[in-house]
A = this chain, B = another copy of it.
Amino acid sequence: MPDTMDQKHADFLNDCVKVLGASHVMLGDDELAAPYRQDWTGYHSGTPLAIVRPKSTDEVAQIVALCHAFGVSIVPSSGRTGLCGGGVSLPDDKSLILSLERMNTIRNLDLDGRSMTLEAGVILQNAQECAAENDLVFPLTFGAQGSAMIGGALSTNAGGSNVVKYGTTRESCIGIEAVLPDGSIINALTGLRKDNTGYDLKNLLIGAEGTLGIITAAVFKLAAMPQARTTGFLSLAALADAPRVLNALQDRTGGAVEAFEYMPDVAIDVICHAFPNTKRPLEAPAKTGIFFEVGSNRKDDAQPGEEGETRLQDLVFATLAELMEDEVVVDAMIAQSEQQRIDLWTMRESILESITENGPAYFLDISLPLAVIHDFVAEMDVKMAELGFQPITVGHLGDGNLHYTLSAAKGKNWDELPLEAAKDYAFEVLSRLNGSFSAEHGIGQSKLDVMLKLKEPSQLDAMRLIKQALDPQNLMNPGKFIPV
């Protein structure tokens, strides 16, 4: 240990080495520790005491017990793809980074019960592939799935494009194993669909961003693999019509909508600018553009009808024909090949990078009741233009989740724009319309101020009481999630 380290920390790390071996305990300022000191955003970085990489739940429990005994704080870390700084240590806090990357075993695949038990360090894409090999769908999908891990997805209750079909992470997870702040283990990896034996500790730990304990493994529901898909792009007469279009597609297909994404022309423009090879889905700009995908598990929906289209396509065509007759849908394109489908998805997935390349921007991750989304967008668009911003909005409209994004309007200098006033205005409208200021990314460090301002005081008080009860030393991911 370096000479500059105090005796307590040196003793603590020696004990960690006894548990894990020297090769899985790394000092925080080690060159190899660089990736652990920051997350994907690059905005957040810290100065951790050390990084440990346990391989088993028992090792996690032993390390947490040591932290409890020595009073060392812990930042659980997995894929570090979070967007709010929840997975990195704070400057000067001398936390231990506990990386779950070596707990990457798929422990069980239950084909009868259609569930899968995964350790916290399993990469989402690996879980997806394992399920797909068995003709099943692992329910979580989002952009970072190639490096995001189960632990982080659970800790942030991560969302994504197909929550509209498979539900949130909380809804997909049917059991957890976790280490509590005192080092005790809870084993609730039941995978049961019904279980009324006590408080819902599973959902309390999911979305808690590591502040109440460390989830080490979880059971997820698996869904049947779609046998037929129909993917397309719509131009609606008005955003207020979106719920009607969504519900019509759901009803005709028996709830098979897998993605229902808001992509107005301004977003398409930004993508086409960043990726000039992008093919615009419709010739005329669609002020209210919707990218959608429907996936049916039914074999009969994959069978060709009279015109050679699949039954699912016929259902979608019939739905759209009615909506076009009523002038709700103005224009539509349906992917006629797997390549066209991939092109549409590529376009959707490139929006974040396109906006980033476009210049400085501020992202809101909000949700609203479907019925008032058009009110929010209408009011915001006017006010933001007045303030000198160009809004670029996309989002998982089927869940009421918008990524309303502010960029500088043409000719405006970002640094001179009143960003704080814009945010205040946005949050005021959001609160008035009963929306949420964090839909799927979490709180971490970056939304603590908004949390303090907008979360109901009685709920904040209840959260603080729970946190104090389970983690009285405030060792679990301190300085995140709960505003002081």
Q: Footprint of B on A, CB under 8 Å?
A: 110, 112-114, 156-157, 159, 163-164, 167-168, 170-171, 180, 184-188, 190-201, 203-204, 206-208, 212, 223-224, 243-244, 247, 250-256, 296-301, 315, 367-371, 396, 399-401, 434-443, 451, 454-456, 458-463, 465-466, 468-470, 481-482
Contact = CB atoms under 8 A, between A and B. Distances in A.
B192 A367 contact: yes
B112 A455 contact: no
Q: 6 closest A-B pairs (Cβ-Cβ)? A: A469-B469, A112-B243, A112-B371, A203-B203, A184-B458, A194-B439
A251 to B, nearest CB: 5
Contacts of A207: 196, 199-200
A401 B190 CA distance: 13
Contacts of A114: 247
B193 A163 contact: yes
A186 B459 contact: yes
B186 A462 contact: yes
Contacts of A469: 465-466, 468-469
B254 A463 contact: no
Contacts of A299: 251-252
A370 B198 contact: no
Contacts of A251: 224, 297-299
Nearest to A244: B112
A315 B300 contact: yes
Given A204-B203, A466-B469, A198 B367 contact: no
A196 B113 contact: no
A276 B439 CA distance: 56
Contact of A194 (B159, B465, B482): B159
Nearest to A253: B298
Nearest to A298: B254
Nearest to A211: B199
A370 B190 contact: no
Given A199-B207, A252-B299, A255-B224, A110 B193 contact: no
7 contacts: A171-B171, A192-B434, A199-B462, A199-B466, A200-B206, A223-B255, A465-B470
Contacts of A196: 156-157, 159, 207, 436, 438-443
Contacts of A247: 112, 114, 224
Contacts of A371: 110, 112-113
A459 B224 contact: no
B199 A224 contact: no
Contacts of A180: 458, 462
Contacts of A456: 186-188
A451 B198 CA distance: 8
A200 B399 contact: no
A454 B195 CA distance: 13
A370 B454 CA distance: 43
A224 B436 CA distance: 26
A81 to B, nearest CB: 15
A422 B46 CA distance: 58
Nearest to A110: B371
A434 B186 CA distance: 14
Nearest to A299: B252
A194 B400 contact: yes
A194 B168 contact: yes
Nearest to A213: B462
A434 B190 contact: yes
Contacts of A223: 255
A480 to B, nearest CB: 12
